[in-house]
Amino acid sequence: MGSDGKIAKQMRGGITPSVRRRSGTTQAGMTLLELIIACAILLVLASAALPIARFSVLRHKETELRNDLEAMRDAIDAYRECAEKQQIKTTPGGSNYPPDLDTLVRGVPLTASADKTIRFLRKIPVDPMTGRADWGLRGVEDDTDSLTWGGKDVFDVYSTSTGTAMNGTRYSTW
């Protein structure tokens, strides 16, 4: 059969043996070995990504803790500044610091007008390390590294978490 015969057979729907062999060698898909290698590569990449993600979450919590502490300390300082300028009503003979954190949220009456109050915080933030709005307090009469509050006038706040930060310091010392 010549070349005319092959063309005629293909036109009638027949496939020659040489075409059949050629089409049988091209296969789609992966072999088992290729699949195992691909899975191993994915496993190595995933195991490298997990610690990075874990540290990223911890870094975010630490940043949030620093921001919350700074906001509360700024509110305490603003309260004291207003008290020293006699813009708010405070207890006579006091240290001009707020009696507790709730006072910063509830507000304090202004001395200029009895019906107006000034608030220093919208709300007491949640400690990202403990998950509670439970902060350690220090008063004016307390030691600077004390972990107990004397119950009078809030001078400073700290986290009650017993954890250690990524830089090696304890959260309660921030």
Distances (CA, A) of 12 to 8, 15, 24, 26: 6, 9, 21, 24
Residue pLDDT, tens place only, 35-70 = 899 999 999 988 888 888 888 889 999 999 999 999
Mean pLDDT (whole number) for 107-112: 86
In the chain, where are the structural domains located?
A: 52-173
Q: How far apart are CA 101 and CA 120, in angstroms?
A: 10
Give 29-39 pLDDT, tens digit per residue: 778 888 899 99
Q: What is the pTM of this model?
A: 0.68
User: How many CB atoms are located within 10 Å of the residue 163 CB?
Assistant: 13
pLDDT score of 12 more than 60: no
Query: What percentage of the chain carries pLDDT values higher than 70?
Result: 82
- For residue 105, what are its two tokens? 């949220």
